[in-house]
Structure 1
């Protein structure tokens, strides 16, 4: 098939670790509506790599809520938990290329390291776009023997991307196409702002950044439509796409649906939960109107 005539593919990719709320409904509606508007395909991907929080019961409820909203996907949902081999293959390539290293510092230790630096130096420690202190990269300089010894000792670790080494592999600046403002804007990617990001863990061969990048390519996703809170992450995904030789989709980062206090809706609460609204007598058309879409 001529790639220029291939149907555009959109995906709604929730994590089944809580209740489907109005924010999810808005994103799902947008993906569905945009796909239908261009004669494309609408897919659902279940980002369930966190097996402790993502349960079969929550997954079934999420899919039932989507069906009630009239958002049936054009193919069976893809479950990330069934595709760890795909992510491990990508990670193996990074290991062979020397672009990742085992990092043994925990998040708490990183926070403590940053706090100590700020106390001693009187200057802020750099933080990523989400506000977390950047990994200091001390484990990047461990000898192979010490790494093997610590792993053999069953010390927990994460595989972190050596950001400096990764960027050295890229020729010229990275960018991506963003349509969230109603036009096709070319946005400069700035993956260095994230430092040495986690790509996998000792007992889990992936992370959000790695799995979403691999999945979008394997599913042929042409348009990524998601909340604006994930806009900064796109810089990391563009870097991984470039390193893995994967195509870059278009991106559309939409506004978030907020609660009455102006905060992002939470999966842990019942506020704005689609199921609760339906049980209260609202219809899918009512839900569409609530999130600012025409019925």
Structure 2
């Protein structure tokens, strides 16, 4: 036993240093082991992610393969049925004459035209009267320009400004009561014609479905081989519009139901876009 307190303290310090060094070594080893474990886990996660990615890619490939097989089966089914099944005729419609189609088109044009409300018509006529009044003043000002002396610069500028104030404007379009009345008649006739025409088209499609007739290629390409489960009524509604679109716009392609998309904005383009979207949903596997 060391009775010297200083030496005893030094000895204790040395022991503590050794213990501290031993502890530091253990901590270093623990950190190294933890780093190795973390790296191992990270590698495992990366490996799992790669496996999942490969699995997702494989599932996508399988889904595409199944879809291709379904399309091939549909095509094969068509070839088999074509030899032994009666075909539906959705191209010839003797019961729908040109006059009926013309009424529908005129009705659509009437709906597309902007109609004035009574108040709008009143305001427009008032604006036209004001325009005409200013136009007469501008004409007088323009004529006065030819008689002004060269020194009357202020008057010249005033008259010229008055002329330009009206020459840069456009006269409002007058509401046409006769056109409004004709449009009302056209809308009514168009509504009656389209209701009757759609009824005829839908009846023939329903008959083809009931008798399991072979649809035309353009029809099946657009709407699929049959109505999706639970959507028969919606499918029939869209199918009727597809046939009607072909009749109205003289689409005769044996493969393309609607033909090229219209470039100009309007009722036809809106209908083309709607039918394209709806039919794409019906064709989804």
Question: Which is helix-richer, 1 or 2?
Answer: 2
- Higher RCO (CA < 8 A, seq sep 6+): 1
Question: Which is strand-richer, 1 or 2?
Answer: 1
Q: Compare CA radii of gyration and give the structure with the larger one.
A: 2
